[in-house]
Amino acid sequence: MTGTRLNSGGRIDRSRPLRFTWDGRSYQGYAGDTLASALMAGGEVILGRSFKYHRPRGIMSAGVEESGAIVTLGTGDRVEPNAKATMVELFDGLAAKGQNAWPSVRNDVGSALGLFGRFFSAGFYYKTFMGLPPFEWGRGTGVWMQYEKLIRKAAGMGEAARVADPDTYDHVHAFCDILVVGSGPAGMSAALQAAKLGKDVILVEQDFELGGDLLNQRDPMSEAQRQEQVTALEVAGVRIMTRTTAFGLYDYGTAGLLQRVTDHLAVKPDHSPRQRFWTVRAGATILATGALERTLAFENNDRPGVMTSAAARSYLNRFGVLPGQKIVLSTNNDSAYVTAAELAQAGAKITLVDLRAEISPNLSALMKSAGVKMKTGLAPRKALGKKSVTGVQLARPQDDRWIAAETLPCDLLLVSAGWSPVVNLLSHRGAKPVWDQTLACFLPAPCSENVTMAGAAAGHWNTMDCAASGVAAAHLATGQKADEIALAGWETPIKPVYEVRLAGKKTKSFVDLQHDVTSSDIRLAHQEGFVSVEHLKRYTTLGMATDQGKMGNIIGLALMAEALGKDIPAVGTTRFRPPYTPVAIGALAGRNTGSHFKVLRRTPLHDWNLRHGATMTDAGLWHRPWYFARKGESFNETYIREATTVRDTLGICDVSSLGKIAVQGPDASEFLNRIYSNAFAKLAVGKARYGIMLRDDGMVLDDGTTWRLSENDFLLTTTTTGAGKVMVWLEELLQLRWPELKVHVSSVSDQWAGVSVAGPKTRAAIAACLEDPEAISAENLPFMGVRETRLKGGIKCLIARISFSGELAYEVYVPANNGEAMMDLLWATSEPLGGCLYGLEALGTLRIEKGHVTGAELDGRVTIDDAGLGKMASLKKSFIGSALRKRPALERSDRPQLVGIFPKDRSESFNGGALLCNPGEISGFGEGWITAVTHSPALGHWIGIGFISGGHDAWQGKSVTATDPVRKGDVTVEIVSPHMFDPKGERMHG
């Protein structure tokens, strides 16, 4: 194969030369080139090395079906592997290189692997792992592991950049009446007709120019018509998107599009995303996705210089490159004849070999006038040449066999074995394509959704019919009557052929070139009992490369059908799945990366906390203060100091992230009484109560305090992480189950800033901030009391005397906007008393010492009894979960129950997440697990809480092993009551 640039012709702009590099060497192309056409014009032949065997590969097509010229683009952090050179628009400064080869694709050491081909036959990996000789399990696995490293290194695709992608990607949403995919004659007609009917139309084209196959025509009339149509589309207001691939069709007329915004630009503007990921919702979809020319399985059909016939036409007419000088064109249908004539006119010596014995006089005359030699009744059986084609050995069919025929020298072997309509997108919708015996291809089946196929994608082979079918599709899509366009086929019918080989001869004939699947692999799979095409695909990896079998699938199916003695429809086809062409992960992620990966929620006190030295941590979506370190203080020192300060004097902790739900209405108390396990009906105004909610199945859902602000007005608090699900649950109950209850719930979590102030000196600190210091005297605000009062400066506040830490404690809530003012007041009175700010870590310490549960314990598998809160479940009333919590298995005494945990040797520490096991029986799930640990300043050693079968009663006085093999090994612990500090709760009543 010796490609040469012609002095004239084609759509390239010879006045705009572009420099680019290939494997470090400098080349020149022109505006309008693809990387493939420019490399071909530059005389390059080997552009890739195959996946398994490292065989040299060249350009095989001019489109998305490319399986040979697979290259790596870019340098540094902008590396894109596995790009199809045929789809890469050339720009000034483009850097590309070969992949899967060392030192280069031209001279690849790995090609020696081809000699060991038998190791890589179908199912190699399965067989190896299943323990066939020589790698039997147990004995040979070590050997395999050695081979595996080598194979991994040798086989595979290109390598991605090892650093973060510096580019940005956008997500865009759009609506339209009609989405037209493909801008060939059918797509343009369909879009234009739909626009004329008053529809809002989006036309999507993966190429950088509109026209589809019209771009490959030599006839100047055809180009004039194309330009006329493009103008008409623009005038009609069709939204045209070039460089955009419709990669998937989904429910309800939703299409996924990938728009390449800057990939083709020499200078990529900073303000543009590299690509845009579009979600388009269309009223109707017209697929004018064209057809791909098939190749044929014969020996060495992967040699550089073997190409589809249509590709040669494209390189000649669109890119002004004559791909070979001495060409053999093998065909079984009429489509290749024009190509042959045009190549001859461009100066190539060409021999056309048709498998069919007879062809129409028109075509014979065309060949004669163009000076093309013709031979009939022949097909290629072997390509000659090592690194590039030097000739072809032909064969002729006789009875059911092929017999060897003459050999023709050539530097380019073009193959046309028929056309496959691109039915991929329709297949995404679950419509199985139907095999057409006459046209020898799968045709689209009717789809129950408003998706219409047009043009070559629907089996129309000539331009006029394609255009007419586009108009008809526009009518169908808009619910109008449409002309039926009959499938004209070829003048002389196609003679289907999928493989040419001499009987009994073992050959390397490739079916799926990108995955190096040969026809022998297909037959081997059949011999080994594979019957279903879906299994065949997975076993041989046929059609599982980045091209999804666009060229090879049909050959594979045909060979399977032949092996099974069935015809192709009986074998069926595999379902295509999105994406049609690969989509970068970056495009899927869009802007949702880094700090935008998830929503960030900040409390109203966020900035205040940061100004006062907070180190933040994630709590669900929230950022919450973790600890407030003083200068030179370590993490452990900090939280231990904070917890100690709370027990000795006082501490202030931001609890604004707790869920807060206003439950209001005449039936509010009845509602609460149904959802909480404990009694709420008689909660007095001005009182708070701790409550536990169960799910229908009797497991604990969430806990928190609920405050009765007035007769019909409650403030329900939830855990930080439970806020969302509790709100959904309450709404579900009120709208679906108990619509008769007159209750309204609204989330007021963001409306309030809240702090917990805890410790023996708390009352004095808060009182000094109040307009009426007496409002929180022991008499006026007893334990579990709630009242509304005012901070100095007239700030309305709600104060509840509730304690999570086990100390005298209050929760103070003010409207969110007054959060900082509240903190300034509280901190001004607390600091002089020796108080501190404390974070989540110290809060954890305080609650673990008290054995209070949180999300770590209430993980959805825990009953109220497991959590040691059984007395919170009323026996006098029914509530959500009251029936199913009595299931026998949930009442077993050996269920894991909440316990406290001390290290046997008090100087030792241990880890949360460790399993609790009987000493000497460290296996399986153990007897329990540890949910949380801390160093307890009150007790002076490490403590933990967790669950263990049978709870405290069953393990009192026994040694238990806390095992944590990955991190720390085993620690001997003892099981204690979860109420490890101040078990009678005297401090909080103080």
* Residues that bind another protein in the complex, under the rule CB under 8 A: 250-252, 254, 279, 281, 448, 674, 696-697, 728, 731-732, 734-737, 739, 878-880, 882-884, 886-887
Please say which residue, 505 or 887, places its beta carbon nearer to another protein. 887
Nearer of residues 223 and 670 to another protein, judged by Cβ: 670
Supply the minimum distance, in Å, between the C-beta of residue 86 and another protein: 31
In angstroms, rounded to a whole number, what is the distance separating the alpha carbons of residues 941 and 930? 16
786 touches 707 (CB < 8 A): yes
What's at 112, amino acid-wise?
A
Question: Would you call 2 helix, strand, or coil by DSSP?
Answer: coil
User: Given the complex with another protein, which of 674 and 763 has the nearer CB atom?
Assistant: 674
Task: For residue 479, give both structure tokens.
Answer: 């619910």
Q: How far is the CB of 256 from another protein (least distance, A)?
A: 9
What's CA 573's distance to the chain center, in Å? 25
Q: Which residues touch 958 (CB under 8 Å, ≥6 apart)?
A: 974, 975
Strand order in the sheet with 713-718: 688-694, 700-710, 713-718, 659-664, 744-747
Q: Using CB atoms within 10 A of its CB, is residue 506 exposed (0-12), middle (13-18) or buried (19+)?
A: exposed
Q: Whole-number minimum distance, CB 696 to another protein, in Å? A: 5
Strands 13-22 vs 94-97: parallel, antiparallel or unpaired: parallel
Of 675 and 914, which has the nearer Cβ to another protein?
Answer: 675
CB-nearer residue toward another protein: 101 or 734: 734
CB of 89 to another protein, least distance (A): 30
Please report how close the Cβ of residue 422 comes to another protein at its closest, in angstroms: 22
- Cβ proximity to another protein: between 4 and 673 the closer is 673
Strand pairing category for 25-31 and 434-436: unpaired
Closest to another protein by CB, 398 or 448: 448
| DSSP per position, 417-454 | --EEE--HHHHHTTPPPEEETTTTEEEPPP-SSSEEE-
List the 795-800 sheet strands across, edge first.
786-791, 795-800, 809-815, 752-758, 651-654, 836-837
971 - beta bridge partners?
962
Cis peptide before 134 (omega within 30 of 0): yes
Give the DSSP H/E element, type plus range, for residue 758: strand 752-758
Residue 831's CB: how many other CB atoms inside 10 A?
Answer: 13
Please name the amino acid found at residue 707: W
Nearer to another protein, 367 or 730 (CB): 730
Q: Which is nearer to another protein, 313 or 660 (CB)?
A: 660
In 3D space, the residue among 136, 185, 785, 710 whose CA is nearest the CA of residue 464 turns out to be 185
Nearer of residues 171 and 239 to another protein, judged by Cβ: 171
Tokens coding 323: 């791909």
* One-letter identity of residue 652: I
The residue (of 889 and 966) whose beta carbon lies closer to another protein is 889
> What is the torsion angle, in degrees rounded to the nearest 10, for the CA atoms of residue 725, residue 729, residue 730 and residue 734?
150
Residue whose CB is less far from another protein, 202 or 441? 202
CB of 371 to another protein, least distance (A): 56
CB 884, min distance to another protein, A: 5
Q: In this structure, are residues 293 and 416 in contact, taking their beta carbons and an 8 Å threshold?
A: yes
> Looking at beta carbons only, is 409 or 870 nearer to another protein?
870
Q: What are the backbone dihedrals phi and psi of residue 576, each rounded to the nearest 5 degrees, phi first? A: -75, 145
DSSP H helices in 138-259: 141-154, 185-196, 220-235
Report in angstroms how near the CB of residue 84 gets to another protein at its nearest.
Answer: 28
Comparing CB distances to another protein, the nearer of 221 and 736 is 736
Cα→Cα distances 89→261, 487, 854, Å: 12, 34, 57
Residue with tokens 């008053």: 198
Residues 197, 191 contacting (CB under 8 angstroms): no
Shortest distance (Å) from residue 879 CB to another protein: 6
Q: What minimum distance in Å lies between the beta carbon of 697 and another protein?
A: 6
Query: How many residues in the chain?
Result: 990
CB 83 within 8 A of CB 92: no
**Kind of pairing between the strands at 969-976 and 896-903:** antiparallel
Query: Please, are residues 419 and 289 in contact by the beta-carbon 8 Å criterion?
Result: no
**Cβ closer to another protein: 277 or 981?**
277
Residue type, 594: G
Cβ 447 to another protein, closest distance in Å? 11
Minimum CB–partner distance for residue 427 and another protein (Å): 16
| Dist CA 288 CA 885 (whole Å) | 59
Q: How far is the CB of 282 from another protein (least distance, A)?
A: 11
- Could you tell me the smallest distance in angstroms from the CB atom of residue 281 to another protein? 7
Rounded to a whole number of angstroms, the minimum distance from the CB of residue 155 to another protein is: 37
